[in-house]
Amino acid sequence: MTSPLSRRSTLQAAGVLAVAGLANSVAGTAQAATATSAATSDETARDIVVTHPALPSVPVNNSFTVKVRRVGGSWQRVGVHLAKLALIDPVTGSNRAQNSSWAAFDFSGTVEVEVTYNPGGAGKFRVRPDSYGITPEVLGSTARFTLDRPRNVVVQVDDKIFDCLHLLANPVEQIPPAEGDKHVMYFGPGLHTTPDRLLKVPSNTTVYLAPGAVLTSQVIFENVENSRLTGRGVLYNSPNGALFVRKTENVTIDGVTILNPRYENIRVAESQNLTIKNLRAFSHQGWGDGIQLYCSENVTIDGCFLRTSDDSIALYTHRWDFYGDTRNITVRNCSLWADVAHPINIGVHGNSDTPEMLENLNFENIDILDHREPQVTYQGAIAFMVGDSNLVRDVRFDNIRVEDFRWGQLVHMRVEYNPKYNTSAGRGIESVYIKDLGYNGKNADLSVMMGLGEDRLVKDVTFENLRVNGRVIADSTGKPRWYLASDGVPMLVNEYVQNLRFLTTEEAAAL
């Protein structure tokens, strides 16, 4: 059963769109939420648990039953929904969508979680990322564990890659935007859309997706400033990418979940002072990147969970009609899972006619959960594929944890000319510092570090405390003196790589 949006909500949305020159372009339907309010809570002095209304038109998945409670409180059921994910056939290239599960709730303090695998027969449970150190109590086909802070985790049963649960544990919203504010486009619980399935956001405007809200339009921030998208709702089945951000200043994306977009989840171009935080995104169709970033400066991506059917994070300069350098980018506190291509990809697209650069790129406290890419030249959990006369420099990785992935390389760092995507070779890669990178697993193929010529070098790359299955890879220790340290990765390094160093922590501190 569906019911129209309230007159107040419809007039509010239409009024804000009128500011952008789109009066009378908004329409929507709202399905009655199963709860009587946007959220219910179970509260003590500091422990709060908030569950969300049902999501209309978003399919449920019955593989898991999820319950949460504050310590010693009453169990609350959490809705479990379907996420579609990608599985590429390496022989035919066909993409067979796979069913998976996700659930979300908010809390503060400490929360107990109970997850039951409904098909039964569970032999073991694993809560990822492994770095969180969460060991569940297992009672048959049920697992229980505690979270002491908001986190995005994956609960796997018997190492199933797709029939698993993505549990998105949010912080409790603090003073959400008010319905009726003239600067707020408010979408309450229910199903919402626009006639052309485009929602263009004016300057100085907040788009709020309340818990239980489902919006099926692409959200566009273009030539605007001081605007944001926030809430606990869902962007679902977006027609041409879920979010497009171009030529903006001071835009924030916070807290929403993206499901099943056509093409990428977020495309950002020619923007400054952008913040993307606590975003969760799932994709299964081709070119389903998580966050694509072109020609932008001063961008922070923080606390996101991205499981994608192409690169999870992709940093570029010029493409199409986007122009300019990319600099001052920080990606931190994120979990990345690439069912296709790379968790991190840097430098493919640029401007051969007027060369551009990517510089001051920082990756901090990242968990890479998986990487699966059959094409050898497109592999790399961390990939620099620098073409189109790009120069990439001043890049730092700090505390990156890579779990065993299905198919690919740990590091792929290459100056290249790929005629499929490039009109010229890259200019070079320089000044890269990789500290506390750890990989535990057995599936990594040979890593690659390759320049393209005397004038297209990879140079001044340092690994500090690189650990492969617990072994520190260093020039000075743990190998025969006639071996290369790169053999311990293992990594193929060609003659156009200069000043490559593998240091222990102590050696780096002494410099």
| CA 130 vs CA 126, 153, 401: distances in Å | 8, 10, 9
- Residue written as tokens 């790169």? 486
Q: pTM above the 0.75 mark?
A: yes
pLDDT at residue 195, rounded to an integer: 87
To which CATH superfamily is domain 40-171 assigned? Dextranase, N-terminal (2.60.350.10)
pLDDT at residue 46, rounded to an integer: 83
> Which pairing describes strands 391-403 and 280-282: parallel, antiparallel, or unpaired?
unpaired
Domain 263-510 belongs in CATH node 3.40.50:
no
pLDDT at residue 158, rounded to an integer: 97
- Residue written as tokens 């999870």? 312
pLDDT at residue 15, rounded to an integer: 36
User: Cβ contacts of residue 380 below 8 Å, gap of 6+?
Assistant: 342, 345, 371, 373, 408, 409, 410, 411, 412, 413, 447, 448
Q: What is the pLDDT of residues 200-240, one digit of tens each?
A: 999 999 999 999 999 999 999 999 999 999 999 999 999 99
pLDDT at residue 38, rounded to an integer: 38
DSSP 206: E
505 within 8 A of 464, measured Cβ to Cβ = yes
- In this structure, the number of other CB atoms found within 10 A of the CB of residue 477 comes to 13
Low-confidence ranges of the chain (pLDDT < 70): 1-45
Question: Cis peptide before 136, with omega less than 30 degrees from 0?
Answer: no
Kindly list the domain boundaries of the chain, sorted by start residue: 40-171, 263-510
Give me the chain's average pLDDT, please.
Answer: 92
- In this structure, the number of other CB atoms found within 10 A of the CB of residue 4 comes to 12
pLDDT at residue 425, rounded to an integer: 98
